[in-house]
Every structure is written in structure tokens, then in C-alpha cells.
Amino acid sequence: MNLPTEIKVAIIGGGPAGLMAAEVLGSQTADARVFDAMPSVARKFLLAGKGGLNLTHSEPIEPFLVRYGRRRSEIEALLSHLAPTALREWAHGLGIETFVGSSGRVFPADMKAAPLLRAWLHRLRESGVRFHMRHRWVDWTPEASRHRLIFDSPGGRIECRATAVVLALGGGSWARLGSDGKWVGILRNHGVDVTPLVPSNCGFDVTTRAGAGWSEYFREKFAGQPLKTVAVSVPDGSGISDKRIGEFVITQTGIEGSLIYAFSARLRDTIAAQGSATLLLDLAPNWEEPRLAAEIARPRGSRSLSSHLQSRTGMKGLKMGLLREIAEPDDFADATRLASKIKALPIRLAATRPIDEAISSAGGVRFEGLDDHLMIRSMPGVFCAGEMLDWEAPTGGYLLTACMASGRVAGTGALQWLEKMEEAEQCN
């Protein structure tokens, strides 16, 4: 598709935030164009939905908003334009029915992302939205009433001028799918305040009492296995944080998985500030510690300690292996101390895994440099949306909901900007 030298609005980034901005603009203007560096749009969206597209969450709005931490107030303003319930209604409008799973998460009825995306793209094209694939944005030059955009395309470097621009370029994770964070340097070169991108919803490398990672024996025997029905808490300055039950996976270098992701922001920030972080792992969350100690203290006769613990407490396999990997030798000689370790086994974390392995990233364009419509104050007519904003959230539908809400806000802001520019031209 040939690209004219003058266009009304450029949406750069074809993920959920960019597509939602395109939906707003496509319904109201005859010239909304989506640019993406990849051969097709929403690749991360499709991959994330392979195991079941977690569209949003059904919990009440108050605990929903708590998930956004320090950016709660900013995300709350965005969600007033597209609340979780409204997002479900939007999906229904595409012909995609949804259901609430046992965890409260909301999924399409068939669990798949592809049918929703196909229906969405069909509606966007019907409204006149045009797509330019394999167009990597490399820079822009702000002008008085236009923005000169520069792209690397299959036909070489090209330029166009847009009245309004929506940037929805994603974060810094999963670079192979398009979210490579290269936009950070471009925006900083133009004076935009960008917080450094860091991993979010990520795994961690452990360090054991020997000062290294997992032992070779433990790694070879257990790496890749899930640790189920455990609870995690993270100590803070005032004591112990909230405790959550779930599961996670042992990796070659440490730990990852949904239960770890729930605490990843706190653990990451603690490592950055102190050099390491410690989480407390409860290997037997359904047992009270005194009862556990009493069972361990029962006579075991000629049985090994491992056989005794399996018989009296059900502790075996990976849980037993992890206990031996972390606990001190003296802990196994005393029932009370061993019960204490089972209920609060300290796992020391030395580092986050690389950002490209993370589910998402934190950091990005700071809200303080944006207006209520997500327009960059120093760049009139340029709006930001999605994961490239400075916020983060745990998995569970919270990421996608806020991304799409921000796309709607940025799209609405760009539409109002177009109207303002058109009025100014008419007056002149």
C-alpha cells in the first residue's frame, strides 16, 4: 500500500493499545493508519493467548485497582473510559462470548485469542483503518502543525507528515515479537521523560547458602518441575507482607511462575536497592506449625527422615529436595526448627532474569509529562498508550485491560486534537 506524504493520524504500534486507538479514530476519521515493524499485528497478544486469552478479571473494582500499585490513580482515570465490565461488553460486540474461570479471570468462551483478533481486524478494516506492516518507526521531526515521521520499510526509508500521532510501541520484553524498547532512545533524544525499562512479571536467579545457584544435583533433578500448593510471602520493613497460595516452577537458575510474578515488582525493587531479596516459602500452607512439629517429632524407628516426613506430613519429591537444598543441616536434627523452616523457608534471590524473558516490563513514559488524554505536553499532537507508559501490573487480565483502556483514551485525545487542528485551519 502506497503511503501518501500527508496523513491525518498515525498509530505506531499494532498491539492491543494501538488497535484500540485505531478503533476510536477509524470510526470518526477517514484517514487512520496503523504502522508496525512486524509482518502482522498483535503478535505478543496472540502468543500470550495461546494457553487461553486472559482478557480481564471479574473481581470488584476496588481490589482490581489495587493491583496497579503506585500508579493506581493514573490507571483508575484510564479505566473510567473502559472498565473491566465494559471490556467484556466490547468483546461481546465482536461476537466473542466470555466466561469467568474459577480464579475470577475472564476468558473468551473458546479460550483463544485468534478469533477475537480476526473479528477485531475485520471491523477496523471495515471502518477504513489502513495497515502498513514492516514499517519500523525510526524518528520524527515535530513541526508547527504536523509531525514528520520517518520509517524503514520494505521499499527503503520513507517519510510522511501526520497531524496527530499515537505511539503504542510496547515495553521491552519479547523483542522477537516487536516489543524491543528501541523507542526509548528516540523519545529521550527529543526531551521526553522516560523511566528506564525493567523486567516485570519475571523470574529470578537464586543464591543458596553456598553463595551460588542451585546445586548441580538439584538442578538436574528438579529444573522444569512445578512446585504446587505452596505459599509465598515477602518480608518488608514492617514485618511480613500478604501471603499468597499458588504454584511456581523451578528453573535452571532459580524460580518463575504466576505465584512469583505476583511479588516480582517488590522483589525486583528490593534487589535494586539492597543487592538481593528474600522471599519466605511455606511448603505446607494447610498445616499449622505446632501440629507440623508434633508430627515430625513422632518416633520414626528405623525409617529415614525422608520416609518419616513423607509418612507423617506428605513432604516428598521436589518439596523435600528444596528443603534439603536450602535448610541448614542442623535444622533437620530438631523437629521445632524443621517445622519452622517448612513453614518459612527463606529463598534468597540475587537477580531478575533478563527483561526479554519477562512477561512484561515496567518503566516508560512518565505520566507526569502527559496530559489527561495521554498527550506528551512538550509534543502537542503526540499521544502515548499501552505498556510504553510508566506503570505495571500483575498477570491476571490487569495488563491487557489497562493497555486497551489507555488506547481508548489516547485515541479519543488524538481525535479531539484533529478536530482542534481542523477548526484552526478553518479560522485561518
Pairing label, strands 56-57, 235-236: unpaired
CA distance 46 to 55: 12
Smallest Cα–Cα separation from 123: which of 99, 98, 95?
95
How far apart CA 240 and CA 7 sit, in angstroms, is: 55
Q: What is the pLDDT of residue 238?
A: 66
Question: Which part of the chain has CATH 3.50.50.60?
Answer: 6-200+362-427
- Supply the pLDDT for residue 31: 87
How far apart CA 368 and CA 421 sit, in angstroms, is 24
Bridge partners of 9, per DSSP, are: 32, 164
Sequence letter at residue 325? E
pLDDT string in tens for the chain (428-residue length): 678 889 999 999 999 999 999 999 998 877 899 999 999 999 999 998 888 999 999 999 999 999 999 999 999 999 999 999 999 999 999 999 999 999 999 999 999 999 999 999 999 999 999 999 999 999 988 776 789 999 999 999 999 999 999 999 999 999 999 999 999 999 999 999 999 999 999 999 999 876 789 999 999 999 999 999 999 999 876 666 789 999 999 999 999 999 999 999 999 999 999 999 999 999 999 999 999 999 999 998 889 989 989 989 999 999 999 999 999 999 999 999 999 999 999 999 999 999 999 999 999 999 999 999 999 999 999 999 999 999 999 999 999 999 999 999 999 999 999 999 988 877 76
Provide the pLDDT for residue 25.
96
pTM of structure: 0.93
Q: What is the pLDDT of residue 426?
A: 79
Q: What is d(CA 170, CA 11) in angstroms, rounded to the nearest whole number? A: 12
Contact in structure between 360 and 171 (CB atoms under 8 Å): yes
- The x, y and z cell numbers of residue 196, run together, are 528506564
Residue with cell 500452607: 285
- At residue 27, the pLDDT reads 84
pLDDT at 167: 98
* HSE, side-chain direction, 13 A CA sphere, residue 392: 27
Integer-rounded Cα radius of gyration of the chain: 25
pLDDT of residue 301: 86
Cα gap 285→283, rounded to integer Å = 6
Q: What angle do CA 232, 237, 240 make, to 5 degrees?
A: 30
d(CA 359, CA 45): 11
3-class SS at 88?
Answer: helix
Side chain identity at residue 225, one-letter code: Q
Give the per-residue pLDDT at 212: 85
- State how far the Cα of 18 lies from the Cα of 135, in Å rounded to an integer: 14
- The one-letter code for the residue type at 99 is F
Residue where the block lists cell 520416609: 307
**Is the Cβ–Cβ distance between 140 and 192 less than 8 Å?**
no
* DSSP string for residues in 136-164: EEEEEEE-SS-EEEEEEETTEEEEEEEEE
Handedness of CA 51, 56, 58, 60 (dihedral sign): positive
Q: How many CB atoms lie within 10 A of CB 102?
A: 5
How far apart CA 147 and CA 59 sit, in angstroms, is 42
pLDDT of res. 239: 64
Predicted pLDDT at 141: 83
For the domain made up of 6-200+362-427, the CATH class stated in words is alpha beta
Grid cell 537464586 — which residue?
A: 206
H/E stretch holding 268: helix 264-274
